[in-house]
Amino acid sequence: MENETKNEENSNNLKRESEAETPENTEKKEISPEDKLKETEDKLLRTLAELENQRRRFEKEVKDAYDFGGFNFAKETLALMDNLQRAKDSISKEDSLKRSKDLPEFIKNIEILEKDLITIFERNKIKKINSENKKFDPNLHQAMLEIENNEVEPGTVLQEIQPGYMFGERLLRPSFVGVSKKKIEDNKEKEDKK
């Protein structure tokens, strides 16, 4: 039974193929010169459009590579700035060094290095994000803790734990911040009044 159905299908396929090859059908398949010209023109226009798109993509990639090629280097260089800050803070707080007459001169030298590094950052489009007393922005800040405070609006940055930086228009590193929230006592009092 299966063989008969297969044989029927094969014979039907052969009939269709032979019908397709008749002189009447081959004339229908021939394309007029005008149609060929239109088809060729369409292919040419599509190819030109594709080439133009590739050229634009390539130009954008070159511009991005020029503008942001040093992004990873800049990101890792921030560790130098952080370590200078930590060293200055650590040395300033050390009791045994506070008694030294050379401490102010040493701190001054560290501050000079710090200023030089900031100047280099600015020349290379690396800018510090000013966060304190600004509204918390999740695109620029990373909240590390909440600080109860009713004097300022909730969601205001009260403390900067680690500064953030921008590289041109791109975020290099978010600022790690402490954000204000309302005191819990006030919320409980309001609930009790209801």
**Average per-residue pLDDT for the chain:** 82
pLDDT over 80 at 118, yes or no? yes
Per the structure block, which two tokens stand in for 153?
């609006």
Q: Looking at 155-164, 172-181, 183-192, which range is the least confident one? A: 183-192
Q: For residue range 123-156, what is the model confidence (pLDDT) as tens digits?
A: 988 999 999 889 999 999 999 999 998 888 899 9
Q: What is the pLDDT of residues 39-84, one digit of tens each?
A: 999 999 999 999 999 999 999 988 888 777 788 888 888 998 899 9
Which pLDDT does position 149 carry in this prediction? 87
Q: What is the CATH number of domain 125-194?
A: 2.30.22.10
Structure tokens at 97: 């060094």
Which residue did the predictor score with more confidence, 162 or 1? 162
Segments making up each domain of the chain, as ranges: 125-194
Residue 15 gets the label, from left (phi > 0), alpha (psi -120 to 50) or beta, of alpha
**Poorest-pLDDT segment among 13-17, 65-69, 151-155, 166-170:** 13-17
Q: Span 86-99, mean pLDDT?
A: 83
| pLDDT surpassing 60 at residue 2 | no
pLDDT at position 69: 79
Binned at pLDDT 50, 70 and 90, residue 3 comes out as low
| Chain centre to alpha carbon of residue 94 | 40
Percent of the chain with pLDDT over 70: 80
